[in-house]
Chain A
Amino acid sequence: QKEVEQNSGPLSVPEGAIASLNCTYSDRGSQSFFWYRQYSGKSPELIMSIYSNGDKEDGRFTAQLNKASQYVSLLIRDSQPSDSATYLCAVKTSGTYKYIFGTGTRLKVLA
């Protein structure tokens, strides 16, 4: 069973639309959750972190966490072509010293 799962995409949305990216994780001991953006050939860039159930908003980004369903999502409002990238979900489990990454979802925002 994969530890962190994401749909690889590509997810195509028109400019100005809401992009919804999803991530599930297998370890119920997971306690910290992160979304990163990665442009081709570049390093992961932190977008948001979320630690408790519910929604967390930062500008055009909203992260949602549901620990009971072991599910994390990222909403991007008013999507722009510059948002086109691969979005990585990362999870940190209590008692470990590593962040586990999903394979990433490739997002394409069409102008």
Chain B
Amino acid sequence: EPEVTQTPSHQVTQMGQEVILRCVPISNHLYFYWYRQILGQKVEFLVSFYNNEISEKSEIFDDQFSVERPDGSNFTLKIRSTKLEDSAMYFCASSRTLNTEAFFGQGTRLTVV
């Protein structure tokens, strides 16, 4: 069964460093998303991506964040200068159409020290 895959599963980084979280969405899906979940809190929307551009972003998704689809399969989230408060689980998701269900990857646990 097709699934969304994310790498790495866990990343530890020093404050101020850049990190890139990687995702391979389901192959016939057209819409891609990044969400994050701080420990014990709700799943929060960061950004959505369609047709090689950002379609919507949240207030959280400020200038330190960027997304890219560098080739036909990968979808990446870059955090330019990490802060302690960026520590969270980051989930990539994809959906086939705009209003159908989204499927989530297993997540990347980012720890900023």
Instruction: Enumerate chain A interface residues (CB-CB to B < 8 A).
Output: 31-32, 34, 36, 38, 42-46, 49, 51, 88, 90, 92, 94, 96-104
Contact flag A99-B33 (CB < 8 Å), given A34-B101, A49-B101:
yes
CA distance A89 to B91 in the complex (A): 16
B residues less than 8 Å from A97 (CB atoms):
31, 48, 50, 55-56, 98
In the bound complex, CA of A101 to CA of B45 (Å) = 8
Contacts A43-B106, A43-B107 given: A98-B91 contact, CB under 8 Å? no
What are 11 A-B contacts defined by CB distance under 8 Å?
A31-B99, A36-B104, A43-B107, A94-B99, A97-B98, A98-B45, A99-B33, A99-B45, A101-B35, A101-B43, A103-B41
B58 — which chain A residues lie within 8 A by C-beta? 98
Listed in ascending order, the chain B residues whose CB lies under 8 Å from chain A are 31, 33, 35, 41-45, 48, 50, 55-56, 58, 89, 91, 93, 98-107
Question: Please, which residues of chain A bring their CB within 8 A of the CB of B33?
Answer: 98-99
CA distance in complex: A97, B33 (Å): 9
- A43 to B31 CA separation, bound complex (whole angstroms): 18
Is the Cβ of A46 less than 8 Å from the Cβ of B56? no
Chain B residue at minimal CB-CB distance from A31: B99
Query: Contact check: which of B43, B56, B102, B106 meets A96 at CB < 8 Å?
Result: B56
B42 pairs with A103, CB closer than 8 A: yes
Q: How far is the CA of A66 from the CA of B54 in the complex (A)?
A: 32
Is A102 a contact of B55 with CB atoms below 8 Å? no
In the complex, A51 Cα to B101 Cα: how many Å?
Answer: 10
Q: Is the CB of A100 within 8 A of B106?
A: no
Extra A-B contacts (4), CB below 8 Å, given A98-B58, A101-B35: A49-B101, A97-B48, A99-B45, A101-B45
B103, A46: Cβ atoms closer than 8 Å: yes
B43, B45, B101: the one contacting A46 at CB < 8 Å is B101
Which residues of chain A have C-beta atoms less than 8 A from B105's C-beta?
A: 43
Task: Give, as a whole number of angstroms, the nearest-CB distance from A52 to chain B.
Answer: 12
> Nearest CB to that of A47 among chain B residues?
B101
> Given the known A-B contacts A31-B99, A43-B91, A92-B99, are A100 and B45 also in contact in the complex, defined by CB atoms under 8 Å?
yes
